[in-house]
Amino acid sequence: MLEQATKDELFHAYYKRWITVYKEGAIRSVTMAKYLMTHHWLVKLVVIE
């Protein structure tokens, strides 16, 4: 079952879920790698540790 989005959900978590639901298995591996790299950079730039 898909998790419902909450208003407290961070964008990078939404983006990762969106990739999994809508893109995984529907696009070429090179394109998937680009989506995953974008997610990696979102986490790196936005999430302050």
Residue type, 5: A
Give me the residue spans of the domains in the chain.
Answer: 22-49
pTM of the model: 0.80
Q: Residues 43, 34: contact at Cβ < 8 Å?
A: no
Under 8 Å between Cβ of 37 and 3: no
The pLDDT score that the predictor gives to residue 5 is: 73
Buried b vs exposed e over 33-47: b needs ≥16 C-beta within 10 Å?
Answer: eebeeebeebeeeee
- Going from the first residue of the chain to its last (49 residues), give the mean pLDDT of each consecutive group of 10, the final group possibly shorter: 76 95 96 97 82
- At 21 the pLDDT is 96
Measured between its terminal Cα atoms, the distance across the chain in Å is 30
